[in-house]
């Protein structure tokens, strides 16, 4: 007889969709503007990505918004339905 824990073990590694988006945003920021941002400092609300970081990095994000969003959409095509802006 199998225990309930055996059945639920396969669900331990699943991550919510926003976690994957947060990691994609952090990777896009490091690749495009060379800024190190942890996925924990990224939040998504009402299709807008908010990054909690210094004002210098925020200004760089605003200047390179198009390149960052294109990088995210290249790596994660379904993000087009979930993200429309980054701030």
Give tens-digit pLDDT for 12-63.
776 557 888 999 999 999 999 999 999 999 999 999 999 999 999 999 999 9
The answer to whether residues 72 and 24 touch, using CB atoms and an 8 Å cutoff, is yes
Instruction: Check pLDDT > 80 for residue 7.
Output: no
51 token code pair:
């990054």
Is the per-residue pLDDT at 2 higher than 80?
A: no
Given this model, what pLDDT does residue 23 score?
A: 94
Residue 62 corresponds to which tokens in the numbers above?
């605003």
């Amino acid at each position: 007889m199998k225990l309930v824990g055996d059945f639920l073990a396969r669900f331990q590694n699943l991550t919510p969709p926003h976690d994957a988006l947060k990691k994609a945003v952090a990777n896009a920021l490091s690749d495009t503007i060379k800024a190190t941002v942890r996925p924990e400092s990224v939040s998504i609300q009402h299709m807008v990505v908010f990054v909690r970081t210094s004002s210098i990095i925020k200004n760089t994000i605003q200047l390179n918004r198009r390149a960052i969003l294109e990088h995210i959409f290249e790596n994660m095509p379904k993000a087009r339905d979930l993200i429309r802006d980054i701030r």
